[in-house]
Amino acid sequence: MEELAKEAGIPVRTVRFYRERGLISPPRREGRIAWYDDHHLARLRTIAGLLERGHTLTGIADLARTFESGRDVAEVLGLGEPSEETPVRVTPEQLADYFEGEVTPENLAAALDLGYLATDGDEIVHISRRLLEVSAELVREGVPLATVFAAGRRVREHADALAELFVSVLEAHSDEDARGNAPEPPQLRPLARAVVDAELSMALDRRLRREDTDRPPRKPAS
What is d(CA 168, CA 185) in angstroms, rounded to the nearest whole number?
11
∠137-143-147 over CA atoms, to 5°? Answer: 115
Is 90 exceeded by the pLDDT of residue 16? yes
- Going by C-beta distance under 8 Å and a sequence separation of 6 or more, which residues neighbour residue 77? 87, 118, 127
Confidence of residue 217 (pLDDT cuts 50, 70, 90): low
62 or 185: which leads in pLDDT: 62
Is there a contact between 128 and 86 (Cβ–Cβ < 8 Å)? yes
pLDDT in tens, 182-201: 556 677 888 899 999 999 99
**pLDDT of amino acid 80:** 53
What is d(CA 114, CA 123) in angstroms, rounded to the nearest whole number?
18
Question: Once rounded to an integer, what is the mean pLDDT over residues 41-63?
Answer: 91
DSSP 58: H
DSSP 82: -
Kindly report which listed range (9-23, 62-76, 153-167) carries the lowest average pLDDT score: 62-76
219 or 115: which leads in pLDDT: 115
**pLDDT of amino acid 79:** 43
**pLDDT of amino acid 222:** 54
Is 90 exceeded by the pLDDT of residue 169? no
Average of per-residue pLDDT values in the chain: 86
Confidence of residue 57 (pLDDT cuts 50, 70, 90): very high
**pLDDT of amino acid 77:** 64
Closest C-alpha to 115, from 167, 159, 49: 159
**pLDDT of amino acid 35:** 92
pLDDT in tens, 69-122: 877 776 766 645 556 888 899 989 999 999 988 999 999 999 999 989 988 877
What is d(CA 54, CA 103) in angstroms, rounded to the nearest whole number?
11
What is d(CA 164, CA 10) in angstroms, rounded to the nearest whole number?
55
Closest C-alpha to 78, from 50, 26, 118, 46: 118
Is 60 exceeded by the pLDDT of residue 8? yes
Is 60 exceeded by the pLDDT of residue 174? yes
For the chain, how long is the longest CA-to-CA vector? 90
Is there a contact between 119 and 104 (Cβ–Cβ < 8 Å)? no
Confidence of residue 178 (pLDDT cuts 50, 70, 90): very low
DSSP 90: E
Question: Once rounded to an integer, what is the mean pLDDT over residues 61-76?
Answer: 81
DSSP 72: B
Question: Once rounded to an integer, what is the mean pLDDT over residues 36-41?
Answer: 91
